[in-house]
Amino acid sequence: MRTTPPRPARRSLLALGLGAVLTAGALGTAAPAGAAPPGPRDPAPLVVQTAEGAVEGTAPDGYRLFQGIPFAAPPVGDLRFAPPAPVEPWSGVLDATSPGSACPQDPSATNPTASVDEDCLYLNVTTPAGLDTARKNLPVMVWIHGGSWRTGSGDRYDASKLALEGDVVVVTINYRLGPLGFLAQEDLSRENGAVASGSAGLLDQQAALRWVQRNIRAFGGNPGRVTVFGESAGGSAVCAQLTSPSARGLFDRAIAQSYSCTAPYDDLATAEAKGAAVAETVGCASAADVAACLRETSVEELLAAWPGGAFVVGGSALPVQPAAAIAAGDHAKVPVMHGNLSDENTLFTPLNPTVATLAADGFTEADYASVLAGIFGDDADEVLARYPAGGYASPLRALAEVNSDAGSALSTCEHVDAYETLARPPVPAPVFAYQFRDETADPLLDFPYPGYPEDAQHAAELPYLFPGLFGDGLTAEQEQLSTAMVRYWTNFAAHGNPNGRDVPTWIRYRAPKDVQGLDIASDGGIGPVDVAAEANCEFWATLA
């Protein structure tokens, strides 16, 4: 944990100049009797007292930023693979002007970060700057990053646009990834008791949400209006938290982007079998104490041996599949925003090793037919008739359309299934569904294949919420769409409903035609679309 001792040069400033500010603003209590309230132009405090100790952030243009705040003990040594432990309080003022380390990960095609530092359970807080704002008990949005459950970090996401335009407090978090966050193994399960193993990453996210409950008033946020939101693996995390018994009461609304809330995960037995294979690979399978051996194995070896994996179903943190829990009404009854992108799998289709090999020599109509036959067997001809290669810019683009419409947790039809499940009895909560459709958006990865427009590719909506994340920046027309999206997201955080002034009406989901399309004005604009019809979901249901 990175702390700094009390700084003598600043001690008198903290004690004398900021004492009233820390009491009235940071701690969220009334000013002393007879004290004149601060003027509306007074700055919000850059030193904030949390339950664990004081932190000092920075004040960029119009907002405050606190980075690298620890929310749990470093998960090292005996705490590797274990549920997160409480962070030790500190004395003095913690330097919160730079982010903490990203959790251990190897770089990928979509994420350049590399780390082997297990001391990584840090979060970042962005708020509007004015002291009058800091006293408003603002809505809080807690962002869970994506990255295939094996890459990413919270500090990559610039939350200033959401905070300033939406008048919210935004918290971006780290959580353990890859084998450190999701490895299940029989001996580890025995050590952890009811929680079993494979849930460290999920429980890290809950530890961050508990930090928010303890501390967010000090930053001007309201712990009774917390929205958890995330994209891709982060969207899957939102869905898992919706159904996790140990997450109840930690948030009040949920936004799941680009991962179906009814997608399945490995059960404990399957995950433990994968863990046994990891133990074999790193030389721990025959150890007298397999769990101790895994804790002593280097991070690099664990990362190299990890076959991939996500949340594990079977322990107390996630006892049943999310789809089953939602269908039974055994989930958090909070308003939900849920959606995807119209062309999700133009990102992942060329990354498939088989497809990539074929595409290197030119992906032909014969290749397309062969891949469909391998996936759909006797139904391949029906799929080919519905998605003929000649109807698209290239056979490879036709395959991406198939993958975007059906067959994965990112696909449109899988999302429609989630909307239907969430919106139906026994105990429905308000559901607002969307699809991002701006085909001019910059792609996360731009592929060199001819006749392969990426269109609204997976993750392409993120720079509309978090400026500068990737790409060349937004055009004037895209900025208009971005402004509307930020209003929808932050309206939802404030009220549990995305509707408000200066944005087109968004209909609560009751049927597939009630999905809000999000597009630039010159290509359809914002309004309801029947995504199930466009994605041929009735056809795909006949093949299920």
Q: Are 197 and 312 in contact (CB under 8 A)?
A: yes
Q: Are 451 and 397 in contact (CB under 8 A)?
A: yes
Q: Give Cβ neighbours of residue 390 (< 8 Å, ≥ 6 apart).
A: none
Count CA atoms closer than 13 A to 401's CA, side-chain side.
Answer: 21
Q: Are 138 and 227 in contact (CB under 8 A)?
A: no
DSSP 31: P
Q: Are 242 and 326 in contact (CB under 8 A)?
A: yes
Which residue has 């429609």 as its token pair?
416
User: Other CB atoms closer than 10 Å to residue 530's CB: what's the count?
Assistant: 15
In Å, what is the CA distance from 219 to each residue of 47, 214, 281, 318? 10, 11, 46, 31
In Å, what is the CA distance from 246 to each residue of 145, 226, 239? 20, 16, 13
SS3 of 313-354: ECCCCCCCCHHHHHHCCCCCCCCEEEEEECCHHHCCHHHCHH
Locate 103 and state its tokens.
């959790």
Q: Is 144 helix (H, G, I), strand (E, B) or coil?
A: strand
Q: Give Cβ neighbours of residue 86 (< 8 Å, ≥ 6 apart).
A: 72, 73
Q: Are 43 and 129 in contact (CB under 8 A)?
A: yes
Distance between CA atoms of residues 53 and 61, nearest Å: 26
Distance between CA atoms of residues 90 and 355, nearest Å: 53
User: How close are the terminal C-alpha atoms of the chain, in Å?
Assistant: 50
Q: Which of 232, 246, 258, 260 is catalytic?
A: 232
φ, ψ for residue 225, nearest 5 deg: -135, 70
Is residue 344 annotated as a catalytic residue, yes or no? yes
Distance between CA atoms of residues 73 and 77, nearest Å: 11
DSSP 181-210: HH---HHHHHHHGGG-SS-HHHHHHHHHHH
Q: Is 105 helix (H, G, I), strand (E, B) or coil?
A: strand
Count CA atoms closer than 13 A to 279's CA, side-chain side.
Answer: 24
Beta bridge pairs of residue 122 = 70
Angle at 177 between CA 417 and CA 55, to 5 degrees: 110
Q: Which of 118, 231, 344, 414 is catalytic?
A: 344
Is residue 145 annotated as a catalytic residue, yes or no? no
Q: Are 384 and 367 in contact (CB under 8 A)?
A: no
Phi-psi map region of 503: left, alpha, beta (phi>0 left; psi -120 to 50 alpha): beta
Is residue 458 annotated as a catalytic residue, yes or no? yes
Q: Which of 244, 458, 461, 482 is catalytic?
A: 458
Active site residue ranges: 232, 344, 458
